């Protein structure tokens, strides 16, 4: 066994070094090679981290939560190993371990922090017992890959070891029910948001109680199925949060909040927009608290956070400032649309939809996105360019949403689509109007699905105009 372990470790690390010399950043291929040689290499490497492993899973927000927690732990002086690039399957996790261990298999950090794909969790937990597991939320996502949402939730619930402490979203009944009957469960949530309402017209997951099947009753909705809920049948209800945000305020590029704690009067600030990023911050906050990190370091770590690729990066392009963010399922896309609709400026959008395996082959989810919100600001939506492999499907969805047809353009080439953003077509807006919009700080958003994200980002990096790329997290 030791021979196979060291052969896998050394081979994986050598492949990793060679890839770096060739200018490749990938961790998946070295991990793939190492796993083929020694299938249990993850458990053998992960067990040596002195402060244990923390895993983060859920539908939306895994990468952001993972990197927010990393920022907090670094601020507190912890040396961490984590899959920063978001490679969250077994091969990517193995690659991250190869990067952060020596040729003798010894860790180069004290804490192992891992973003984990929901479907990967069972295989990972067969090799290691996490010290802490964070679950952000559950929404319908890539049905052709994950199957029905109930199946994913059962898979996650069954996989989590009894010895693992849980940090769960109290406001999501699908997440909160995982803590029922378990010890060592700590919840996070929000008292109210500026947009919270007693009614909701959004498509909701988890409409029915996971324990008895009756329809849940809500007194307050935040978004999706998140809010204050109770089952009239068995009494299952929103648990009291261990960490709860109150007095939530949203500035131009920042969210601020307080914690419902008589001993903590700080105002916490995060350079994010979009309310689901508040939940990501609270998940990281709660996990850091359970890891014995001081509130001072938590606040500083949140405030210093800088986004990673495709999580609302901002690029300076000829003629405009463009913001890039990943969209991959109805709830996440809805939150992006809500944020855009609330901006006090005119907007132009580039939406790139692919249907490759990593995106999900079934794109019917686009019909669950509330693009109709944009029709309330028809005059401010100057241009929407539909790109990617399924540009026609996206354009059709926008037409049925009520967007004016003369504002919708199709261009399959990502490069040409970006050029159209930089130089608005006369068919969508006059040159005079374009110049005026740009001068007034027009908002330009580029919204790709997963397989379009990095090709799009490469295009933007090549075309950026500033000496230094600026990263701004909004969503």
Alpha carbon 446 to its chain's center: 16
In contact, 138 and 149? CB cutoff 8 Å: yes
Q: Was 209 annotated as part of a binding site?
A: yes
Catalytic residue among 144, 264, 362, 406: 362
Two tokens, residue 188: 């996070």
CA distance 5 to 275: 44
CA distance 89 to 412: 30
Backbone φ and ψ for 300, nearest 5 degrees, come out as -65, -40
Backbone φ and ψ for 437, nearest 5 degrees, come out as -65, -45
* Antiparallel, parallel or unpaired: β 408-410 and 381-387: parallel
- Residue 473 neighbours by CB under 8 Å, 6+ apart: 64, 271, 272, 273, 277, 305, 306, 307, 311, 312
Burial class (CB in 10 A: 0-12, 13-18, 19+), 374: buried
* Catalytic residue check, 362: yes
Two tokens, residue 396: 């059709």
Question: Which neighbouring-strand residues pair with 311?
Answer: 325
Supply the angle between the helices 414-422 and 450-463 in degrees, to the nearest 10: 50
- Please give the full DSSP string across 251-264, using - where no structure is assigned: -SS-EEEEES-TT-
8-state DSSP, 214 = P
Q: Which residues are annotated as a binding site?
A: 209, 212, 231, 234
Residues labelled catalytic: 362
Q: Which residues are annotated as a binding site for Zn(2+)?
A: 209, 212, 231, 234
């Amino acid at each position: 066994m030791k021979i196979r372990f060291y052969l896998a470790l050394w081979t994986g690390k050598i492949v990793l070094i060679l890839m770096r010399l060739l200018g490749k950043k990938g961790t998946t291929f070295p991990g793939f090679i190492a796993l083929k040689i020694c299938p249990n290499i993850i458990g053998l490497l992960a067990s040596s981290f002195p402060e244990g492993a923390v895993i983060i899973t859920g539908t939306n927000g895994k990468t952001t939560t993972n990197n927010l927690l990393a920022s907090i732990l670094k601020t507190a002086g912890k040396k961490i190993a984590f899959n920063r690039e978001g490679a969250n399957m077994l091969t990517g996790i193995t690659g991250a371990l190869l990067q952060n261990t020596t040729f003798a298999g010894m860790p180069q950090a004290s804490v192992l922090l891992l973003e984990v794909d929901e479907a990967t969790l069972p295989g990972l937990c067969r090799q290691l017992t996490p010290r802490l597991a964070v679950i952000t939320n559950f929404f319908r996502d890539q049905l052709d890959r994950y199957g029905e949402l109930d199946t994913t939730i059962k898979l996650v619930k069954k996989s989590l070891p009894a010895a693992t402490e849980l940090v769960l979203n109290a406001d999501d009944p699908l997440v909160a029910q995982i803590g029922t009957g378990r010890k060592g469960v700590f919840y996070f949530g929000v008292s109210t948001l500026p947009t919270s309402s007693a009614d909701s017209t959004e498509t909701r997951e988890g409409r029915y109680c996971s324990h008895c099947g009756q329809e849940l009753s809500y007194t307050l909705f935040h978004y999706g199925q998140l809010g204050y809920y109770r089952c009239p049948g068995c009494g299952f209800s929103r648990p009291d949060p261990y960490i709860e945000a109150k007095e939530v305020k949203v500035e131009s590029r920042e969210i601020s909040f307080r914690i419902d704690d008589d001993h903590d009067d700080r105002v916490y600030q995060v350079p994010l927009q979009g309310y689901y990023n508040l939940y990501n911050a609270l998940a990281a906050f709660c996990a850091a608290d359970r890891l014995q990190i001081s509130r001072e370091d938590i606040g500083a770590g949140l405030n210093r956070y800088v986004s990673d690729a495709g999580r609302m990066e901002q690029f300076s392009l000829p003629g405009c400032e463009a913001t890039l963010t990943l969209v991959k399922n109805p709830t996440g896309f809805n939150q992006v649309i809500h944020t855009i609709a609330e901006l006090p400026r005119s907007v132009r959008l580039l939406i790139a939809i692919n249907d490759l395996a990593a995106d999900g082959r079934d794109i019917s989810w686009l019909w669950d996105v509330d693009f109709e919100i944009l029709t309330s600001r028809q005059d401010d939506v100057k241009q929407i360019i539909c790109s990617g492999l399924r540009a026609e499907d996206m354009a059709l969805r926008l037409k049925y949403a009520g967007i004016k047809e003369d504002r919708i353009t199709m261009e399959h080439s990502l490069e040409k689509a970006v050029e159209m953003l930089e130089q608005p077509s006369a068919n969508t807006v006059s040159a005079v109007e374009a110049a005026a919009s740009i001068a007034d700080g027009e908002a330009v958003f580029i919204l790709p699905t997963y397989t379009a994200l990095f090709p799009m980002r490469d295009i933007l990096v090549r075309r950026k105009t500033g000496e230094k790329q600026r990263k701004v997290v909004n969503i």
